[in-house]
A and B are shown apart, each in its own frame.
Chain A
Amino acid sequence: MSIRDSAASMAAALAKKEITSVELTNQHYQQIASTDKDINAFLYLDKVGALAQAELVDKKRLAGEKLSPLAGVPLALKDVMVQKDVPTTCGSKILEGWKPPYDSTVVSKLKAAGIVILGKTNMDEFAMGSSTENSAFGPTHNPWDLSRIPGGSGGGSSAALAAFQAPLAIGTDTGGSIRQPAAVTGTVGVKPTYGAVSRYGLVAFSSSLDQAGPCARTVLDAALLHQVIAGFDPKDSTSINQLTPDVVAAAKKLDVKGVKIGVVKQLAGDGYQKGVENKFNEAIAELVKLGAEIVEVSCPNFEYALAAYYLIAPSECSSNLARFDSIRFGLRVGDDGTRGAEEVMNLTRQAGFGREVKRRIILGTYALSSGYYDAYYGSAQKVRTLIKQDFDKAFAKCDVLVSPTTPTTAFKIGEKSNDPLAMYLNDIATIPVNMAGIGGMSLPCGLADEDNLPVGFQIMSPAMKDDRMYLVGGALEAALLAKWKKPILDFAPKLVGSK
């Protein structure tokens, strides 16, 4: 039993009583203690709560109680998901020190399944970014190369997995914030169908795009976690009232004979790093060997997805972030008895929000303002329709669609932080999925020749057919593992531990 094992192996060792959850939890805290000065994946560690949960699971197991498959396994929680009495900041100064008075539905489900929540992970402020550099609490570093970004917004969760600080994590994905961090850290991340996982207690950025999902080091681990967090929730008015497809069985099937896989023509070429395209094409060749049928599909409107996204998401965020008003929770600045409410609100939001958040609030306010609404927000909504139609046509011809997850491997910290447009381009291949509300997965498909950094392979499946991406992902992962002879993270440089 090692902290490098899969969550499924840890769960098996726990079930056989080879290790207790308290021991397993402590091993992960030791790894965090020795590596997180370098990585900065965690914003808060809830040792008391985690060890109490671990102890409870151990007691139940000793008493012979029936437990959930992942009971006793540790997890890292993205700091955008509220957990009762545990500080939740969303990577923002405006929420520093705030302790939510309730659990999100995802957290309730994790707790009920006996999963041990180690702490809260770092992220771009309010999930706006692709590098975790927009966190008010400093950037997270990629375990493959500490001078590089771990992706974003969920860079804390992906780095924690790649640094073996946790075998499971929760992310949220509005334009790629689960899949892009997974791609650049050699881990697995899944954005489920919109509405498959409850948004109750997920701090809203862009409500029509936000979706929480599982992050892990293997496809099966992601499926096991997916099964725990998915399902109808009456507390979320956009929750889908249907049974969750059997993603665990799909991940275990390892058979893609006759599965029709569409390669999206538009998600390649200009702007895509050579090594990324090579590894993607090698993965396609593996799928052919496994008996899958490859077809090329054209989605001409994907070209406009990025532009539409950077109108829709800021528009929704300008409305959602109005709740940070210095009145009901979080920061209040300048309330010295001489200033009125509006001035205090203005000063609080100036001091509490970072540059990217302000940029998006202003952009959204503009796109929604009278006189510009039709030209910007209205046009973006039409593009959304066209993207949905592209997907519908493509899925009429194939079971899943595939592409590289990101155009490049992990870039250097600071390289793009002063160029918003260059930063936004990271999401070019992940955004269409959010616009249509369908499922998307990223799993590692090799190391780019130029820089020996991980490359992500994206699989997209129609709404509520999330099992299809697990089917293809599981089979591809097994084929690649047989080729490499060891998991991709075994190729990463050894972490030296804290300086």
Chain B
Amino acid sequence: MAAISRDEVANLARLARISMSDDELDHLAGEMDVILGAVKRVQEVASADVKPTSHPLDVNNVTREDVVTPSLSPEQSLSGAPATAEQRFKVPQILGEE
């Protein structure tokens, strides 16, 4: 039995906000099955007594003094946006979708 179905891949693509053609889905479902078959090896040694490591360093929250320092201007911040209006990012309609 396949580790992952085509429907599951379609659902993941929806969650990841990537449209996919039928061809893309067919192809990717097959590849995902092979890759998952290979990477599931991690389960062989991942016993309950092993602590997980999420990062090579002990990551701590870093804060700075609350002092105003030079930063990007609004124009610079918006300079790469596909569309802007009134010093804001202009987005397609977000309400009224199904």
- Determine whether the beta carbon of A102 is less than 8 Å from that of B72: yes
B77 touches A310 (CB 8 A): no
Q: Could you say which residues of chain A place their CB within 8 Å of the CB of B19?
A: 346-347, 349-350
Which residues of the partner chain B approach A327 to less than 8 Å between Cβ atoms? 81-82, 89, 91
Stretch at the interface among A112-120, A122-130, A243-251, A301-309: A301-309
Question: Digit string of B10-49 for contact with A (CB within 8 Å is 1, else 0)?
Answer: 0011011111100010001001101110111111111100
Residues of chain A with a CB closer than 8 A to B8's CB? 366
- Residues of B within 8 Å of A100, CB to CB, are 80
Max count, chain A CB within 10 A of own CB: residue among B31, B53, B76 = B53
- CB-CB contacts of A434-477 with B at 8 A, as 1s and 0s? 01111000000000000000000000000100000000000000
B58 to chain A, nearest CB (A): 10
- Contact of A310 with B79 in the complex, beta carbons under 8 Å: no
Closest chain B residue, CB of each to CB of A388: B53
Q: Are A385 and B79 in contact (CB under 8 A)?
A: no
Residues in A neighbouring B61, C-beta threshold 8 A = 237
Q: Which residues of A contact B55 (CB under 8 A)?
A: 208, 238, 437
* Known contacts A195-B57, A335-B82, A366-B4: A421-B42 contact under CB 8 Å: no
A129 to B91, alpha carbons, bound, how many Å?
Answer: 33
Report if A341-B92 is in contact (Cβ < 8 Å); known contacts: A98-B80, A383-B45: yes
- Pick the contact of A340 from B31, B40, B62, B96 — CB < 8 Å? B96
* B interface bracket (residues with beta carbon within 8 Å of A): 35 or more
Q: How many A-B residue pairs have CB under 8 A?
A: 179
25 A-B contacts, Cβ less than 8 Å apart? A99-B79, A238-B59, A304-B41, A307-B39, A308-B39, A326-B82, A327-B91, A329-B82, A330-B82, A340-B93, A341-B91, A341-B92, A341-B94, A342-B94, A343-B97, A346-B17, A349-B16, A349-B17, A376-B42, A380-B39, A381-B54, A382-B46, A384-B54, A388-B56, A421-B38
A353 touches B18 (CB 8 A): yes
> Out of B47, B52, B77, which one reaches A101, CB within 8 Å?
B77
* Max count, chain B CB within 10 A of own CB: residue among A102, A307, A358: A307
Residues of B contacting A208 in the complex (Cβ-Cβ under 8 angstroms) = 54-56
**CB of B66, distance to nearest CB on chain A (Å):** 14
For the complex, give the distance between the alpha carbons of A232 and B31 in Å: 41
> Across the interface, do B12 and A328 meet the contact criterion of CB distance under 8 Å?
no
B80 partner, pick from A329, A340, A438, beta carbons under 8 A:
A329
